[in-house]
Chains A and B, each alone.
Chain A
Amino acid sequence: NAGVTQTPKFQVLKTGQSMTLQCAQDMNHNSMYWYRQDPGMGLRLIYYSASEGTTDKGEVPNGYNVSRLNKREFSLRLESAAPSQTSVYFCASSELWTETGAYEQYFGPGTRLTVT
């Protein structure tokens, strides 16, 4: 099993360009997440999809859109990239939480994005 895969691994964009980051998981998980990681700040949640057909904003959604294409795939789109979006982006998946709390998340290898 590949687990969580992300494409591309690296990307350089000019300010104002758009792009879509792709994520797929083969663990039959219901929930998927997009995070960004900046130096010294840990991971911050951009958007998540608790289950197929639903998406919700996380802590830092401005400038991003998402699509839950099917149970396996969850994409993140930057419509008009800005230098502040230079970051490492991680996709993750997990079982849907229950009343006892969240389950462990499985992470992809990340996409390193630079916006000039």
Chain B
Amino acid sequence: SQQGEEDPQALSIQEGENATMNCSYKTSINNLQWYRQNSGRGLVHLILIRSNEREKHSGRLRVTLDTSKKSSSLLITASRAADTASYFCATDAKDDYKLSFGAGTTVTVRA
């Protein structure tokens, strides 16, 4: 069963705006990862945040993790048309190191 669930399911924004999406999960985790999938392609790893970290940055990406609420957020700042994609969170639970993926958030950036 899916551990993570993303919210919203879909998001449409203007180029230059910020995009925020959330991920909630059910059990205690080791790490949480975010991936991007462009239409018709494989997933690409964006960022990994460990359970003892609260925030992480990578370029225009900012990820937060709140283990007390079992949730994470991914913020993409100053969005570009190339950011149009589906974004997935994935968690590996304590004592079970396989990744469990959510259903994804589809982001459309309008020019």
A residues sitting closer than 8 Å to B (CB atoms) are: 4, 33, 35, 40-45, 48, 58-59, 90, 92, 97, 100-110
Count: A-B pairs, CB below 8 Å: 63
B1 interface hit (Cβ, 8 Å): yes
Which of B29, B97, B104 lies at the interface centre, i.e. has the most chain A CB atoms within 10 A of its CB? B97
How close is A99's CB to chain B, nearest CB, in angstroms? Answer: 8
Q: How large is the interface on B (under 10, 10 to 19, 20 to 34, 35 or more residues)?
A: 20 to 34
Across the interface, do B42 and A42 meet the contact criterion of CB distance under 8 Å?
no
Nearest-neighbour CB distance to chain B for A57, whole angstroms, equals: 11
The verdict on B33 contacting chain A, using a C-beta distance below 8 Å, is: yes
Known: A97-B92, A110-B42. A104 touches B48 (CB 8 A): yes
Given contacts A100-B50, A105-B43, 19 further A-B contacts (CB under 8 A): A35-B101, A40-B103, A41-B103, A42-B88, A42-B102, A42-B103, A43-B43, A43-B88, A90-B43, A92-B42, A101-B92, A102-B33, A103-B48, A104-B45, A105-B99, A107-B42, A107-B44, A109-B42, A110-B41
